[in-house]
Amino acid sequence: MASNVCIFHRYKGEGIVPASPEVVWKCLKPEAGGLRTKWDQNVKEFEVIETISETVSICRTASPSAFMKIISPRDFIDVVLIKWYDDGTIASSATNVEHPLCPPQPGYVRGLNYPCGCFCIPVPGEPDKTQLLSLFQTDLGGYLPQNVVDSFFPSNMSGFYSNLAKATKPVSDH
């Protein structure tokens, strides 16, 4: 008897980004035509499949091949919730979902995001700094050796924070 085995990995990233939460959010905001595809090396394409409300949408994120092309291009379909808190925190939370308007795409392995998110948290007394907390729980799908996944994610998250800090500079200057 075959069983469905789901292997997902949990990762947490945390750092201070030298920009206000609003600027960091402009770079992270899950929107078609947004800044994320310009600076995030792991986001090749981003599209909104369906807008449910002002704060909830169904989105498709596609990533390029990675890790010397050992990891094939992936795509992920997620329901995304955006929330603003009274203390100035901006959160984007997501989890995988299936959607009839977005069946598996040729050339992509369908990955799954389990509950995950990014939190842009104001740093008290420092309006031009943001504490960014990222939580990822991802099943990349396909057949990847565990050591490849374990090697890829930590360096990938480090690059994410470094590239985000660089991306906020021109946004902050405007």
Q: Which residues pair with 118 in a beta bridge?
A: 92, 134
CATH number at residue 53: 3.30.530.20
Range of the domain at 110: 10-172
Percent of the chain with pLDDT over 70: 94
Q: Please indicate, yes or no, if residue 114 is contained in any of the structural domains.
A: yes
pLDDT category of residue 83 using cuts at 50, 70 and 90 = very high
Q: What total number of domains does the chain contain?
A: 1
* pLDDT recorded at residue 8: 56
Identify whether 68 is part of a domain: yes
Question: Does a structural domain hold residue 1?
Answer: no
Average pLDDT over residues 128-152: 84
Question: What pLDDT, on a 0 to 100 scale, did the predictor assign at position 87?
Answer: 96
